Amino acid sequence: MNEQIPVKTVTPVKVHKPKGGPEGKRHDSRSRIYVRAVQGPLETFRRMFGLFFLGLFAIIPWIQYNGHQAVLLDIGEQRFTIFSLTLWPQDLTLLAYIFIVSAFALFFVTTFAGRVWCGFMCPQTTWVYIYTWFEEKFEGPRNKRIALDARKMDVDKFLRKTAKHTAWVLVALLTALTFVGYFTPIDALFIDFVTFNTSFWAGLSVIFFAVCTYGNAGYMREIMCTHICPYARFQSAMFDKDTFTVSYDAKRGEQRGPRPRKLSHEQVKEKGLGDCIDCNLCVQVCPTGIDIRNGLQYECINCGACVDACNGVMDKMGYPKGLISFTSEEELAGGKTHVLRPKLIGYFVVLVVMIGLLFANIWMRSPTEVDIIRDRNSLYRETNEGLIENVYTIKVLNKTQQTQSYTIAIKGLPDYKYIGEQKVTVKGGAVYSTPISVATDAYNLEDTVTDIFISVTTTIDGETVTVDEPTKFLYR
């Protein structure tokens, strides 16, 4: 009980904040962040990467396959069509596998390269950059936008703001129409929306998602990343010392401070200055308004904008690049990054296993689903011929996208009499329901409950597919 807890002395971290002007409130979550445009290889890659997936998002719902929309997630009909694959509520396990694969893919990528999902693929980030691009086109670069917002309303300001918000609204509407087009036929949706003939729920969904896009990308922006998105909160649990994150090399950069460009790198070192000239460009280009020089922060989305900004300054000053870079804590400490490590390998192995299980489930998925419902009015009845009769309702679900013919038979019941349709035709992606009666002599029944199978057989692409659905034949 008298043992003392050892106390470890920790060197406090000096937090640098921008001084004066609009920069002074940058760390206030309620203040407006004026993001400065940046050029560089990472920014070019991010734009091309984002445009590629943005193009996929816009084009996919317009693709036609075998006379129908290739990707249609019809919630009303409880049917998801993805090219030749049709998914029903019975295929819910596939959706679970998709979510599990996505989760482990996120864990793997985050452990390896930090929060790059947020910086390069997140829809919020992509749409914020689109809105910022329109903002720059109509209101000018960062310093002009600050001055424009500071002055009173006049004709020029009114026209610029109107043009910007008009562009934002159009982008929001196109985004919402495209998104809703994944859940309802998109060609009819566009026409019906323009002519005010959409259904109530389709129209409401378009307006709702348009408002969300306009608000999130136009006003919420970094607040979505820093205050609402849960990923920012638990991402650190997946980081380790070998995770690649955007980091500032404090050993090389400090002591920071301005200096004439004419001084050589060696002369700067002699004066006791580091490579950081304290230009604050890394802060001005950050979409979440943080100062990466204060160390790793949960608000950082690993977009690399500060890397391009800093490398541009280093080029102009004649200093080596990489003062801010994608690197690991281990490497900053002078060690070597261990790419192949147990944690990363574990995530990769689980990811591969789950992908394998997902494809195995798709491969082994039966193209026919059979559901049997017993008659609830009576367990059995005796016919005029003295036979014992059970009544069932058979539902045949055709999971393919082509019309199929099915043959119904009974297995496990000797010398039975079948009453009802034995051959049915079901359209692609449709459910066919038919009542049948099965009767047999009581002498053929050894027990009050007999296990039987209702067999449904069809031929798909030359291959015979049979589904045997178990049920009970009751007597007494």
Spatial separation of the C-alpha atoms in residues 431 and 409, rounded to whole Å: 18
Residue 9: the pLDDT is 56
Q: What is the pLDDT of residue 114?
A: 87
- d(Cα 105, Cα 196) in Å, to the nearest integer? 42
328: Cβ contacts below 8 Å, ≥ 6 apart:
241, 242, 243, 244, 245, 247, 337
Give the end-to-end CA distance of the chain in Å, rounded to a whole number. 75
| 9: helix, strand or coil | coil
Instruction: Confirm if 134 and 171 have CB atoms less than 8 A apart.
Output: yes
Residue in this structure with the two tokens 């060690």, named with its chain if needed: 335
Tokens at 416, concatenated? 């039975």
Tell me the CA distances in angstroms from 382 to 298, 388, 447, one per residue in order.
73, 5, 16
Could you count the other beta carbons within 10 Å of the beta carbon of residue 383? 12
354-367 in b/e burial notation, b at 16+ Cβ within 10 A? beeebeeeeeeeeb
Q: Read off the tokens for 53.
A: 């997936």
Task: Name which CATH class applies to 368-474.
Answer: mainly beta
Q: Which residue's structure tokens are 């035709």?
A: 425
pLDDT at 239: 87
Please count the helices (runs of H) and the strands (runs of E) in the chain. 16, 16
299's torsion region: left (phi>0), alpha (psi -120 to 50) or beta? alpha
- List the pLDDT tens digit at each of the 476 positions of the chain: 556 666 655 445 455 554 444 444 444 444 688 999 999 999 999 999 999 999 999 999 999 988 889 999 988 888 888 888 888 887 888 888 999 999 999 999 999 988 888 889 899 999 999 999 999 999 999 999 999 999 999 999 999 999 999 999 999 999 999 999 999 999 999 999 999 999 999 999 999 999 999 999 999 998 888 888 887 777 777 888 999 999 999 999 988 888 888 888 888 888 889 999 999 999 999 999 899 999 888 888 999 999 999 999 999 998 999 999 999 989 988 889 888 899 999 999 999 999 999 999 888 888 888 999 988 888 889 998 889 999 999 999 988 888 899 999 999 998 899 999 999 999 887 889 999 999 999 988 888 899 999 999 999 878 889 999 999 999 87
Q: Where are the domains of the chain?
A: 34-87+122-220, 368-474
Per-residue model confidence (pLDDT) at position 233 = 76
Task: Extract the tokens encoding 15.
Answer: 């937090």
Contacts of 354 (CB under 8 A, 6+ apart): 97, 100, 101, 104
